[in-house]
Homo-oligomer: A and B are copies of this chain.
Amino acid sequence: MRIALDDAALLHRDAPEAQEARAEGNRAFGAFMREALPDVSDTTHALACELIITTLTSGGKVFSETARTPAEIDAYSTAMADMFCAYLAHLTRD
């Protein structure tokens, strides 16, 4: 199942529709992060966006490669959200 999904993902990844959806998602996330961090430089904003998106996607991918209970999923996603919130609070304090 994972192999079939990987094959489908490879075909899907570079399709124009997928690129457009990804660009739209990045714009929305950038706007959200600009609201959360109104006073930081564009450089800090871009770096924080990249770090959070990469952590969310790559960390989520690795976590999902092992079977997990709903309680484990809840605990891990809450911990990751706490980490992001602590980082955003740190950036707004500087």
Contact = CB atoms under 8 A, between A and B. Distances in A.
A3 to B, nearest CB: 16
Contact of A59 (B47, B59, B87, B90): B59
Instruction: Give the interface size class of chain A.
Output: 20 to 34
Contacts of A83: 51, 55, 83-84, 86-87, 90
A85 B48 CA distance: 15
B87 A47 contact: no
Interface of A: 43, 47-48, 50-51, 54-55, 57-59, 61-63, 75-76, 79-80, 82-87, 89-91
A-B pairs, top 6 by smallest CB distance, nearest first, are A86-B90, A58-B58, A86-B86, A83-B87, A58-B62, A86-B87
